[in-house]
A and B are shown apart, each in its own frame.
Chain A
Amino acid sequence: MSDRPLLEITDLWVTYWARSNFGLRRKPFHAVRGANLSVRPGETLGLVGESGSGKSSIANTVLGLVPPTSGSVRFGDDELAEMKTRYPSAVRNQIQAVFQDPFSSLNPSMTVEDILTEPLRVHTTMNRDERRARAVELLKLVSLSEEHLGRHPHQFSGGQRQRIAIASALALEPKLIVLDEPVSALDVSTQNQIINLLYERRDASGIAYLLIAHDLALVHHISDRIAVMYLGHIVEEGPSDRVYKSPAHPYTKALLDAVPLLDPEAQRKRRAARRAAPAQEASRVAATGCPYRNRCTSAMSRCQTEMPSAYPIDGGGTANCFLFADNGNVDAMRKRAVP
């Protein structure tokens, strides 16, 4: 792993315009509010958050499906934010994706061969036989076989379809694959098969993954580093084990505490502890200051007005929380470092 990031997102804003009042006035909705992220070559970054946190907007921006409003998305030597959604072929074939729902992400009218060779048709000059040979090769990589080439997606189970989607993403040997909830639509007993497959391909080819998911336990398994999003902000970032085992930001803690455990006894203790704690304020979105302050158990007066920046955490990574303000300011250091 080299130190130079493959993907570097700096102060990214993504804004959608919602029509209101019979389309006369448009209201902005900021899905991503100044996010900073980086993925090194061959590294897996897990991006975790609840629905509406903006994690999918980041994925769509990186994939060139949604133009960024402001900020920078640098991939290798290219600035993607300037290209809006029109990536040249040389960039496009480096960034591929696997989407959540394998039932709608494969074109129902295409055969597996069509699906797997489509990227090759668009980006290479391979002839029909070469493409077919490559498709067979790809199927073998994901433990399917040549006999599946002529079939249509509806003839496969959810797990098998996701294998096909992964094979198609691997076709151009990209440097980065964006995985948008790759296993959450699958049965529990097939989820791990897909995760193992993703591992295997990463170890074999050195692909970097940007993994978008809501399940911290799952993300912890596959990721080298984890970033946690809340209402468009990245609130914590750090090495996977550190974030999972000793979360710093109160929101990350709450998120981890909410994941049910497989141990009924431990779960009962947790519930008792939760009941003992005072009830939280119902209104959740804070207009000023820290976005999480209304739900936070350790909110201070400072959180009402000031926005916390990224502070370094022992064990690696940062958290955007004033609890760690004594550790110094990373944003300030970063700004100084960039000429």
Chain B
Amino acid sequence: MTLHSIDKSVSRAGRSRRLNASFVITVFAGSVLALLVFLALFADWISPYDPLQQNLIDAMQGPSAVHWLGTDDLGRDVLSRLIHGCRIAVIAAAEATSIALILGVPLGLFIGYRGGWWDWIVMRLVEAVVSIPGIMVAIVIIAILGTGLHRAMIALGILFSTSFLRLARGVVLAEREEVYVRSARVVGASDSRILLRHIFPNIAPPLIVQITLTVGAVLLAEAGLSFIGLGVQPPNASWGTMLNSAASYMDLDWFLAVPPGIAIIATVLSVNLLGDVIRDAIGRGIAVKVKPETPAARFDAVVPAASTAGATLPEREDDVLRVEGLQVMISSRDGEEVPVITDLSLGIAKGETLGLVGESGSGKTLTGLSILGLIGAGGRTTHGSIMLNGKELRSLTERQMEQVRGNEVAMVFQDPTTSLNPAFTVGNQIAEVLRTKKGFSQKDAWDRVIELIDRVGIPRPEERAKAYPHELSGGMAQRIAIARALSCNPSLLIADEPTTALDVTVQQEILDLFRDLQDEFGMAILFVTHDLAVAADICDRISVMYAGEVVEMAEVDGLFSAPRHPYTRGLLSAMPHASDRNPPLPTIRGSVPRPGSWPAGCRFSNRCDFRTGSCDQRIPLAGTERLVRCVRAGELEREGAR
């Protein structure tokens, strides 16, 4: 418990540090830019001297009480010139960036949405422009328009509009395929309305980043153009012209380059930092960082230290996998650790199929991944043991786990078209496993590949082994994924929704294949699914999960003929073929709570019709052969029998 609280305080401290850092950055960048604008507006009143007033007697003096930043080659006050340079910088950045924005974004939106010839022609032009060095393009445009600040900024605006154009086009190309655009079209919104009202707001985050980058780049480019004499014309003061004259007198007075240099660096840095902060602030809830509507129960009170309470899993001699008291935590975005699996125990015997059934967010997929040690960044197993063939997997090193994966445990995923690598033939992908894990030679591996592909029921295996994943149908690809999983003859196969992406007639074939292969190879299968009917077909025993814990575990026949937990009963009666045609169909009220917002006590209590006062306490998983996590399980069972 102490360890737990230390962990907590550490994570809290970490969070406040991060918060402070981003706050400090915002304040720093904001004040630099505010100062810049302030100086630009009031340059005439603030600057101690006229920036153009020459005094050749006092030329090139270092900083002094009279001239804080010294004087330049013509004896002009550097501080005054720097302050007047702010005005040029603000005008330049605003002018060029708005020109780029106004030219680039609408055109990009238009060609991205319209596509076809418009898109082709504009994009070729853009490619031509960006293939020439930017400064060259600017010089050409200035050669046509003539020199001077505003003309230079028009040149820069045209130049930078290409990056806005490409950004807007890219985002529109992606967004116009989104379902919400189809919805807008069905509603009857016109093309321009779809573009401006529906798609455009979603461009904002990348656009803001692009604007800040462009402002930075414009400041640098203005300095560069003025430096080579194409921008602001002497004697007017800009940071670029100041650098220009500083460069001429490098040997005599190096300090001249320092004030404009620091001004440019500080401004560009501030703009970029502020852009990042703004983008993060308006980012469109991608991480789904939502405060739960009901206050989350404090977790410390909810979880028993280990599986102290409740019945332990019945010991069985032929268990291949035995998980006890497993607890998995995931760190959420604000740095707090949230439990996603608690007190989870299960065992699978040789040749047995255990179904792990639950809805989204129940932790069933994560259970499979934590057995493989593949929870990923941000998650960790905090309690419990995972024994595979008598070996504690949690104590293995990452290297040893690599040996276990593939050899002793293998996995089949939901979507076969994405779980296979599109760059290699399917035969190669299976052969690779055999070579690395089993040390097969090239030839032996290939022979075995053909055998395996034949075994999973694919006709003409020699030919199909040379196919790429996209050339196969979903069912075929899943057969290949299964062949790959079985290539090293694992003792445990974890199948995560392996038929969910398939059509029912194909699903039936794949389920048959699992049965056949299990009869032949004798592996244990952990079958993760949300579909109770599929579980009824394929499983010997079933664990029903809800909100990170097992609520009921039973033999398949017993579970379906007499479900004991109210959640299991609710799920079964909600299945489409379970009820009659007449509405209303039976429902479970509310929705599955997200991790972090589970009710204290029984986690199903806020949706349960059988709730009593004692449901506010932690309920242990109880029973001998059948395990149920419900205080009223006995009562409900008698009631069901009547």
Residues of A within 8 A of B (CB): 50-51, 63-65, 87, 89, 92-93, 95-97, 99-101, 104-110, 118-119, 122-123, 152, 154-155, 157-160, 165, 168, 187-193, 195-196, 199-200, 214-215, 217-218, 220-221, 240-241, 254-255, 257-265, 267, 271, 274-275, 282
Contact = CB atoms under 8 A, between A and B. Distances in A.
Contact of A118 (B184, B515, B560, B592): B184
Given A217-B576, A271-B512, A264 B288 contact: no
A221 B148 CA distance: 75
Contact of B581 (A160, A187, A220, A265): A220
A110 B38 CA distance: 36
A119 B531 CA distance: 36
Interface string B176-194: 0011101111111100010
A104 B178 contact: yes
A192 B591 CA distance: 12
Interface in B176-221: 178-180, 182-189, 193, 197-198, 201-202, 204
Given A187-B591, A214-B503, A241 B186 contact: no
B585 A196 contact: yes
A221 to B, nearest CB: 6
A122 B591 contact: no
B90 to A, nearest CB: 30
Interface string B284-298: 111010100000000
A199 B585 CA distance: 10
Interface of B: 178-180, 182-189, 193, 197-198, 201-202, 204, 284-286, 288, 290, 359-360, 459, 474, 503-508, 511-512, 515, 530-534, 536-537, 556-557, 560, 570-572, 574-579, 581, 583-589, 591-592, 607
Contact of B504 (A93, A158, A214): A214
A155 B289 CA distance: 9
Nearest to A156: B290
Given A122-B189, A122-B193, A188 B583 contact: no
27 contacts: A50-B504, A65-B186, A92-B186, A95-B186, A99-B183, A106-B183, A107-B202, A108-B284, A158-B360, A158-B591, A159-B591, A160-B591, A187-B592, A188-B571, A188-B575, A189-B570, A193-B589, A200-B584, A217-B577, A221-B581, A258-B507, A260-B533, A260-B536, A261-B577, A262-B577, A262-B578, A282-B459
Given A99-B182, A122-B188, A258 B504 contact: yes
Contacts of B575: 188, 217, 262
A123 B188 contact: yes
Contact of B285 (A97, A155, A263): A155
Nearest 5 CB-CB pairings of A with B: A154-B285, A260-B533, A92-B188, A109-B201, A50-B503
B89 to A, nearest CB: 33
Contacts of A51: 474, 503
Contacts of A87: 188
A104 B180 contact: yes
Given A107-B198, A195-B585, A50 B288 contact: no
A50 B503 CA distance: 6
A155 B290 contact: yes
A192 B537 contact: no
B458 to A, nearest CB: 9
Contacts of A110: 198, 201
A87 B508 CA distance: 42
B588 A189 contact: yes
Contacts of A157: 591-592
Given A109-B201, A189-B607, A196-B583, 14 more contacts: A89-B188, A99-B183, A100-B179, A109-B284, A122-B187, A168-B187, A188-B531, A192-B584, A196-B587, A214-B503, A240-B581, A241-B581, A260-B533, A274-B508
B288 A189 contact: no
A215 B505 contact: no
B591 A196 contact: no
Most A-side CB within 10 Å, residue of B459, B506, B584? B584
A101 B180 CA distance: 10
Contacts of B571: 188-189
Nearest to A106: B180
A118 B187 contact: yes
Contact of A191 (B536, B574, B577, B592): B574
B598 to A, nearest CB: 14
Given A109-B284, A264-B556, A259 B533 contact: yes
A260 B186 contact: no
Contact of B512 (A192, A215, A261, A274): A274
A192 B533 contact: no
Contacts of A192: 574, 584-587
